[in-house]
Amino acid sequence: MQVNASYSPDVLERMVYAGVQASSFREASTHLQKLAGLKIDRKQIERWTRRIGGARIAERDRQVEQWANLPLPMMTSGSPPGKAPNTVMVSMDGGRLQILDQDQEAKADGTSETLVQEASRDEADEITTEPLCEEDRENKSSYWRESKIGCLVTFQSQTYEADPCPGIPENFLEPPRILKLSREICRNAPQDSLPSDAANLRTDREEAELVAGRPEMLVKTVVATKAPYVTFGPLLAAAAWARGFSAAKRKAFVADGAKINWTIWRRHFSHYTPILDFIHVISRVFAAAMAGRDFKEGWPAYVRWANWLWSGRVAELLVEVERRRNELGPPEKTDSATSPRRVVSDALTYLTNNQAYLDYARYRQEGLPITSSLMESTVKQVSRRVKGTEKFWSSEGAEPILQLRGDYISDTDPLLKFWEPWQRQASGQRSYSHAA
């Protein structure tokens, strides 16, 4: 890559860092002036951020191409020299960002000029049109699009002769916590407030039991893109292979119940143990247990169901949930998403369809992670930069910022290797290029 910079490599690195970490390029300009005494226009920060992000995308694409040319046995069990982690997890989820394309600009009911100016002023260098992939098709009247985010994590763990944590942790048995968790995860969670006598209900479980057998997290890498899933799958697989995940002793693919997650698993990670995120499942179980019941009746049912789920007794759980569904009857077409019949019926379908991924006692015994809570927090970290009700991106401008945002929140620090050649190749106003 040819380097022709009007800024020193050190200043460029600061510009890009500020452009990715601040909430906007305008704020990045202010931060640089206040904190480093660098008076740099926001448009310069934006252009260089996009340029460096584009260079990182080119590196990423070369990595995917190299991975795609590997023999199949090497893809599933080999690794780069010297890389063989103990335990690994691949997880994926979606975030949100707004893309303003030309066709939407024309349909903005007389406000197109304002919208385009706002987009240019805040984030986008130019507005472009990009056709939607079938898998990503959304309402074209909306600006919101889905970002795809992957989390690649190494752990230190061990196997056990028996379940190292046979009792469910207390945070899943405290009404205020599970109600809050369920409302964050499950759209049909109970909306009623808890009675006063439930607010302080706690178990006597000791804190030490909460972490018994839990894998110790080591290093995280983040992959972020707005490309369609057909591109995201190989991108995620190539990043996992580069870190030696295929040769790991224990491999887990942990995700929520979205169909696309398990399509990616089947295509690229079928040699990993598939695990449905426990937090998503327990949220649905809580919603089903409380549906159509007051706290006094619903809470004991939830505690019983939660313990069965934690210990892998899924068959017993399904029997009781089905019994409750029969008591309420099948949902009517007019039932809302939060109606008791709909909530219980949806939970039964969810558990039945995914029961092959719910053997949590065995997963803990094998030293595998069972939640994607790290994935949820990663989505929030990425969204902090790209998501906002008044923040619009062009199709060309979104991808570089997503790439760099993932780079900066990765423990593997991929930009460190990127900036070293820049330090060798460029200085101030002078131009350098790679030797032939």
Secondary structure of residue 341 in the 3-state scheme: helix
Q: How confident is the model over 73-96, as pLDDT tens digits?
A: 888 877 777 677 899 999 999 999
Q: What is the DSSP string of 113-163?
A: HHHHHHHHHHT-SS----PPPGGG---TT--EEEEEEEEEEEEE----SS-
Q: What is the largest CA-CA distance in the chain?
A: 78
Q: What is the mean pLDDT of the chain?
A: 84
Separation CA 161–CA 182 (nearest Å): 32
pLDDT at position 189: 67
Residue type, 261: N
Across 151-160, average pLDDT: 96
**Amino acid identity, residue 332?**
E
pLDDT at 399 over 70: yes
Q: How far is CA 384 from CA 142, 146, 378, 379, in A?
A: 20, 14, 10, 9
- What ranges do the domains of the chain cover? 1-158+215-268+377-430, 170-204+278-370
Which helix or strand (DSSP H or E) is residue 92 part of? strand 87-99
Q: Quick one: pLDDT band at residue 191, thresholds 50, 70, 90? A: low
Q: CB within 8 A of 329, min separation 6: which ones?
A: 341
R_g of the chain computed on alpha carbons? 24
Among the ranges given (7-11, 52-56, 312-316, 352-356), the one the predictor scored with the smallest mean pLDDT = 7-11
Give the pLDDT confidence score for residue 212 in this predicted structure.
73
Question: How far is Cα 329 from Cα 335, in angstroms, rounded to an integer?
Answer: 12
Q: What pLDDT, on the 0 to 100 scale, is given for residue 141?
A: 54
- Which of 344, 372, 335 lies closest to 287 in space, CA to CA? 344
Identify the bridge partners of residue 144 per DSSP, sorted by sequence position: 98
Which of the residue ranges 70-74, 98-102, 248-252, 431-435 would you say has the lowest mean pLDDT? 431-435
Taking residues 384-409, what's their average pLDDT?
A: 92
At 305 the three-state DSSP class reads: helix
pTM reported for the whole predicted model: 0.84
Token pair in block for residue 71: 């023999």
Contacts of 104 (CB under 8 A, 6+ apart): 140, 141, 143
Average pLDDT score over residue span 282-289: 95
Packing angle, helices 414-425 and 9-21, rounded to 10: 150
**Residue 18, pLDDT score:** 96
Instruction: List the single range of 113-127, 156-170, 180-194, 350-364 with lowest mean pLDDT.
Output: 113-127
| pLDDT per residue as tens digits for the range 47-73 | 999 999 999 999 999 999 999 999 888
pLDDT of 197 reads: 55
Share of the chain above pLDDT 90, in %: 65
